[in-house]
Structure 1
Amino acid sequence: MSDSSFEVPDPPPALVPVPAARAIDLHSSRVVTGAPGCGWQFDLRADDPVTRDGMLVVPVISEEDYYRAIDGDGDAYASLVPAGDVWVQRPEPGTGAPRPGYLIERLSDPDAPPVRRPYPASDVPNLIGRRVWHWTDGVFRDDFRCVSEPFETDGDFCVRVVEERAWYRWRRSGQIPKAQDAFIHHLWTQ
């Protein structure tokens, strides 16, 4: 582990949904799809919008298919979703991470895609499989998944993480990824 176990960075930014029609360069962006009165889907990737039958649509695939395509392990077939039903998740600097609070503090508008606020991994149970922001080499990376619950090693509390691409390859092929121990106070859930 290259980062000091004593260094506690400020939290990463919240992921704010921006309408796809207002975003530039959607290629490989994480997106949310859904509609008021229905609900919301996360863990999706998009490509640049196209026009079909006079309608602006966004090609959308699951993250699992996205990483399968990146690895060259088969074709990924996108769903064409109306652009008005797609929002791009954009980090909004300075939004920080509040502590998980009472229900009243978590209420949101069910007819709009929610803001995804990061929470310290130390405050969140059941970490295995969760995507996390990882503070490493002085910057946040948002492409890691937890593969363990917290544990103690040499007086530090850690969680094992793997790069998200390797996580999906493991799910798809059974190829076990190389895990790394991350200080728990360097991880925030998404």
Structure 2
Amino acid sequence: METLAADSPRYEFPDPPPPLNAVPAVQCFDMRGARVIVGTPGQGWRTDLRADDPLMRGGKLLVPVLSESDYYRSQDDGTEAMAALHPVESVWVEKPDDAAERRTAAPHLFERLVDIECPPKRWPVPASDVHGLTGRRVWLWRSGEFGTDLRCVSEAFENSDGDIAVKVATERDWYRWARTGKSPTVEEALIHLTWLEA
């Protein structure tokens, strides 16, 4: 029988990661590479985007925004990517809200209703509560902190130790995989240490 150290990840049960809050871009500095949301209050929102630092054009402050796949391609190639220019007032930056209560997303519809005038706060969801994990962005607890910019590349499975786990890869590898066909470097993550960025 296997003997486990008291500090084994099997015995860690950390609080959930902080929720992601949308901060108006006009309140942010150094936006290069930041995850952003674009949209119009009362209409809708687009996520999975990255930004560059704002610029002035025609007397207006604009934020260059591109898809995450284009962002990672430009990072790998060392080239500039074509970005759409959005008015600064239609861009919000995703930031962990470390001051917020540490809890998971509400399970019931009426508890999840939001104000459509601004992007919603995104509470984490335990990976064990979700069907269809493959491709989803996750937080992973490891070495006493939460790792971000990760994607699930498998559904839950039972590993050789009898634990329930998933396989994760960095987002950079995830997008490179789609672009080049090169399989990502993967890491096994215990399901109870993994949360979706819902």
Q: Same fold (TM over 0.5)?
A: yes
| Corresponding position of 1:186 | 193
Aligned counterpart for 1:21 among listed residues 20, 23, 26: 26
**Equivalent AA in structure 2 for residue 65 of structure 1:** D
Q: Are positions 1:118 and 2:118 aligned together?
A: no
Residue in 2 that maps onto 1:106: 112
Which of 78, 92, 99 is the matching residue for 2:97?
92
Secondary structure of 2:119's counterpart equals: coil
Aligned residue in 1 for 2:56: 51
Q: Structure 1: which 5+ residue stretches go unaligned? A: none
Which residue of the other structure, out of 128, 133, 138, is the alignment partner of 2:144?
Answer: 138
**1:147 aligned residue:** 153
What are the ranges of 5 or more consecutive residues in structure 2 without an aligned counterpart? 1-6
Query: 3-state DSSP class of the match of 1:5?
Result: helix
TM-score, normalised to structure 1, is 0.95
Per the alignment, residue 167 of structure 1 pairs with 174
* RMSD, aligned CA: 1.5
Kept after mapping to 2: 8 A contact 1:159/1:184: yes
What does the per-residue CA deviation read over 1:6-31, in whole Å, with 9 as the maximum and x for residues that have no partner? Answer: 10111111010000001121111100
Q: CA deviation at 1:82?
A: 0.2
Q: Percent identity?
A: 50
1:10 paired residue among 10, 15, 18: 15
Q: Take 1:3 and 1:48, find their aligned partners in 2: how far apart are those partners?
A: 42
Question: What do the CA deviations read for 1:37-75 (whole angstroms, capped 9, x no partner)?
Answer: 321000001111111100000010111111001101754
Q: SS at 1:95's partner residue?
A: coil
Q: Give the AA of the match of 1:113.
A: P
Match of 1:42 in 2: 47
Distance 1:158 1:164 in 2: 19
- Which deviates the most, 38-47 or 88-97? 88-97
Deviation at 1:100, TM superposition (A): 4.0
Change (3 A) 1:97 1:178: same
Number of equivalenced pairs: 189
**SS of equivalent to 2:73:** helix
Q: Confirm or deny: 8 A CA contact 1:96 1:118 kept in the other structure.
A: no
Alignment match of 2:70 (pick from 58, 65, 87): 65
Instruction: Give the counterpart of 1:76 among 69, 72, 81.
Output: 81
C-alpha displacement of 1:111: 2.1
Q: 1:73/1:51 Cα in 2 relative to 1: closer, same or farther (>3 Å)? A: closer
Q: What code does the residue aligned with 1:119 have?
A: V
User: CA–CA distance in 2 between the matches of 1:183 and 1:49?
Assistant: 39
**Amino acid in the other structure paired with 1:185:** H
TM-score, length basis structure 2: 0.91
